[in-house]
Amino acid sequence: AQSVAQPEDQVNVAEGNPLTVKCTYSVSGNPYLFWYVQYPNRGLQFLLKYITGDNLVKGSYGFEAEFNKSQTSFHLKKPSALVSDSALYFCAVRDMRQGNTPLVFGKGTRLSVIA
């Protein structure tokens, strides 16, 4: 079975500092990995995904994520955090070998950027 873990419920970072939101996954085959962001009272917005190729994926709003197969991780990063980045972040995975199974989401990490 596929699963995603986001080990931190909450991450606090000062504006201008780099931020990292952690994600680890478990699949039997190769993973498709996604990051989404959710602002209050809104749906999920797609940030970036890893399908294949370069392990460093660049996405929207200056976010990037690094796929690490040996550590089964896909951490989300941004070099300089903005107050407007404060939101709920979700990591999701689909096992390439499982075909069209649903995306499995982590529990989410609440990011708070302090001015």
Other Cβ atoms less than 10 A from the Cβ of 12: the count is: 12
Rounded Cα distance, 73 and 51, in Å = 14
Cβ atoms of 71 and 55 within 8 Å: the answer is no
Could you say which residues in the range 39-98 bind another protein, by CB under 8 A? 41-46, 49, 51, 90, 94, 96, 98
Which residue stretch of 10-18, 19-27, 35-43, 74-82 sits at the interface with another protein (rule: CB under 8 A)? 35-43
Cβ atoms of 25 and 72 within 8 Å: the answer is yes
Give exposure, 76-114, as e/b (b: 16+ Cβ within 10 Å): bebeebeeebbbbbbbbbbbeeeeeeeebebebbebebe
Residue 73 or 105: the one with the smaller Cβ distance to another protein is 105
Q: Does 108 bind another protein (CB under 8 A)?
A: yes
Residue 15 or 49: the one with the smaller Cβ distance to another protein is 49
Q: Does 105 bind another protein (CB under 8 A)?
A: yes
- The size of the interface with another protein (CB under 8 A), counted in residues, is 25
- Which member of 18, 107, 112, 114 binds another protein (CB under 8 A)? 107
Residue 25 or 108: the one with the smaller Cβ distance to another protein is 108
